[in-house]
Structure 1
Amino acid sequence: MSSDTADSRLSSILEHVARAARIARREPSEVQLIAISKTHEAEAIRPLIVAGQRLFGENRVQEAAAKWPALREAAPDIELHLVGQLQSNKAEEAVALFDAIHSLDRPSLIAALARAMDKTDRRPPCFVQVNIGDEPQKGGCAVADLPALLAEARAAELPVTGLMAVPPLGVEAAPYFALLAKLARDHGVSGLSMGMSDDYETAVTLGATHVRVGTALFGARI
């Protein structure tokens, strides 16, 4: 990706985010754009860093550990967010590497993250992932299990900052975003990690604080 392409794509998405925020009578600054750089090499990521993007999302701990230390040397203010499923045995590495974790979804991971945070003395904010469409193939806790999971995370003193979800493919996303926003309100959390390349504007109008955009920034994967 060229610098010009990175500039134009980033500017376009930020303009769309701002427009959607204004429609919802929100400030554009309330929404953070996470560039989903999973599977992309450093050469494809650097132009976005040069264009000013500072929040990036990765799915896998090992992939992020391999490419981000060098990329961060040029821009120490980069924030790296883990947006993929996290195995409990990778919790300590994830806490050391990432600035936020969007996939807290089960009691065993709560325990692993609590131990890792105590050991590393780092406390990256966590989003509880909700299986908002009740899809067996997807990660995330069931809606019915959310109150208990949040209570357990808070008892473990994890810094839970919000909820995250991925709506089912091929259906209108708005009702799922609205449900996640209601769940967040009901449970006293303000962060909403929702919306991707095809639906981030809808997510912003319904309260998203973090949108996770990959394809619209990097282009379709080959």
Structure 2
Amino acid sequence: MVDDEGRRAELAANLQQVHERIEAACAAAGRPPGAVTLTAVTKTYPASDVLLLAGLGVTDVGENKDQDAGPKAAEVRAAGVRLRWHFVGQLQRNKAKSVAAYADVVESVDSERLVAALAKAAAGRAEPLEALIQVSIDGDPARGGVIENDLHRVCEAVASSDGLRLGGLMAVAPVGWEPDRAFERLAVLAGQVAGRYPGATTISAGMSGDLEAAVRHGATHVRIGTSLLGMRNSLR
């Protein structure tokens, strides 16, 4: 119990600091408070941390490995806690069925073949599986993401698939790029996508080191791990 209380206090302090950063970034950008949703990236952290965060008001959590996320989501659900689960890692098509069983959002959709696999896996869901298209800002597909020339084709594949809903875009600032440069380009692409698909307004961008730049350029969701959960041992 002492350990749980100590961890809860640690997470509460970190969460307050992260919220203060987000609120300050929104104010600096002339955006209203609450314009940005915090997605707590809980990869490598135990379900106990997820439950503590939920108790502190966190509603969205992100995971990047199906073999960890599935059991963790089941444990949290068994505790009677309902969260919005985001899958944020690169996803292989053979994992689509497993991920569709617990995820509410897949943020790393990067090909028409993955769209087809997710659509098949999402058939029969009570609610559509939200898909964010991961964009390769620097055009290097080896780092994950759809290159600009293929973006609208993949968006259309999602929009025309039963069981899926096109939510918007996701991106990571490429190594060596100034975050402002990366997120400015993402904002342009997001505007194009939202113009063609009016419901696709989500922009998932920004992590612990660059959330301010992401908010400055219109991010609606920021994915925060280290600043929130700290450095801890892996689950493995």
Shorter-chain TM range is: over 0.9
Amino acid at match of 1:33: L
- Normalised to the residue count of structure 1, the TM-score between the two structures is 0.93
Alignment counterpart, residue 80 of structure 1, candidates 80, 85, 93 = 85
Specify the SS of the correspondent of 1:125: strand
Query: Contact between 1:92 and 1:120, CA under 8 Å: does it hold in 2?
Result: no
Amino acid at match of 2:218: G
Specify the SS of the correspondent of 1:211: strand
Spell out the pairing of 1:163-202 with structure 2 (5 A cutoff): 163-188=169-194, 189-202=200-213
In structure 2, what is the Cα distance between the partners aligned to 1:171 and 1:106?
Answer: 24
In structure 2, what is the Cα distance between the partners aligned to 1:44 and 1:99?
Answer: 20
Specify the SS of the correspondent of 2:34: helix
Alignment counterpart, residue 61 of structure 2, candidates 56, 60, 69 = 56
Alignment counterpart, residue 11 of structure 1, candidates 13, 16, 20 = 16
Amino acid at match of 1:15: E
Spell out the pairing of 1:134-149 with structure 2 (5 A cutoff): 134-149=139-154
In structure 1, what is the Cα distance between the partners aligned to 2:214 and 2:18?
Answer: 13
Amino acid at match of 1:28: P
Q: 1:75 to 1:17 in 2, by over 3 A?
A: farther
- Aligned pairs, how many? 222
Partner of 1:211: 222
Specify the SS of the correspondent of 1:141: coil
In structure 2, what is the Cα distance between the partners aligned to 1:75 and 1:131?
Answer: 37
How much does 1:119 deviate?
A: 3.7
Query: Contact between 2:206 and 2:213, CA under 8 Å: does it hold in 1?
Result: yes
Specify the SS of the correspondent of 2:108: strand
Query: Contact between 1:33 and 1:212, CA under 8 Å: does it hold in 2?
Result: yes
Q: 1:43 to 1:152 in 2, by over 3 A?
A: closer
Amino acid at match of 1:185: G
Query: Contact between 1:95 and 1:123, CA under 8 Å: does it hold in 2?
Result: no
How much does 1:121 deviate?
A: 4.2
Q: 1:120 to 1:45 in 2, by over 3 A?
A: closer
CA offsets 1:79-120 (integer angstroms, 9 cap, x no match): 111001111111122112011110111011111111112244
Partner of 2:3: none
How much does 1:171 deviate?
A: 3.0
Unaligned runs of 5+ in 1: none
How much does 1:74 deviate?
A: 3.5
In structure 1, what is the Cα distance between the partners aligned to 2:93 and 2:114?
Answer: 5
